[in-house]
Amino acid sequence: MPSSTSADLRIAVLIDAHDRSRFTCGVESLDRYLKTQAGQDVRRKANAVFVLSRDAEPDRVLGYYTLCAMAISRGDAPEAARKHLPRYPLVSCTLIGRLAVARDQQGQGLGSILLADALQRAFDSADTVGSSMVIVDALDEAAAGFYAAYGFARLPDSLRLVMPMRQAGRGTER
């Protein structure tokens, strides 16, 4: 079921009607994933893929993100977050695996809209599937900076960033 994000923007689960062939964000691996793999992942339930579009052009993909469940070693969590985690060897997490905005739409705040939606969906599902943190693996320093600006904590010597689920429920206010 689509959720309205503004007067004319919608975020919905990827369906066949979404035109993935025209999407380009400037990062080949993200473009290729949406065009060739995303549909299969949705059918196989390997990833949930959500797309941003406008009401006037519902088939045009302005941006997208993926969510999936994963687990990390408790020791991989930042020290400050460990006190809020269960004392199991592996900690359940939600991974924002990919997040991309079409090149001609960048700089308009759509990445922030996608991230806010991803965090809300992760938080809303945490009670059902059991998830203590949200994790992102940034592609580069610029992406890591984007996530850090919204409160993600960077793990040392890594492009992996984490956010406790309780913080994800508070939104993405900078």
Mean of all residue pLDDT scores within the chain: 89
**Tokens (6 digits) for 54:** 């406008």
Question: Quick one: which of 40, 66, 37 has its CA closest to 51?
Answer: 66
**Tokens (6 digits) for 121:** 């969906």
| Residues in Cβ contact with 39 at an 8 Å cutoff, skipping those fewer than 6 apart | 14, 16, 20
Q: State how far the Cα of 132 lies from the Cα of 122, in Å rounded to an integer.
A: 10
Average pLDDT over every residue of 60-83: 82
Instruction: Flag the least confident range among 36-45, 74-83, 161-170.
Output: 74-83
| Residues in Cβ contact with 123 at an 8 Å cutoff, skipping those fewer than 6 apart | 165, 168, 169
Q: State how far the Cα of 70 lies from the Cα of 63, in Å rounded to an integer.
A: 23
Question: Residue 65 catalytic?
Answer: no
Residues, the chain: 174
Catalytic residue among 64, 65, 147, 150: 147
Q: Identify the structural domains of the chain with CATH numbers, from first to last.
A: 3-168 (3.40.630.30)
Per-residue pLDDT tens over the stretch 127-156: 898 898 899 999 999 999 999 999 998 888
| Residues in Cβ contact with 139 at an 8 Å cutoff, skipping those fewer than 6 apart | 27, 29, 30, 159
Q: State how far the Cα of 60 lies from the Cα of 102, in Å rounded to an integer.
A: 10
What is the band of 158 on the pLDDT scale with cuts at 50, 70, 90? confident
| Residues in Cβ contact with 9 at an 8 Å cutoff, skipping those fewer than 6 apart | 52, 53, 54, 55, 62, 110, 113
Q: What percent of the chain has pLDDT over 70?
A: 89
Alpha helices in the chain (DSSP H): 28-32, 38-44, 79-82, 110-129, 141-149, 165-168
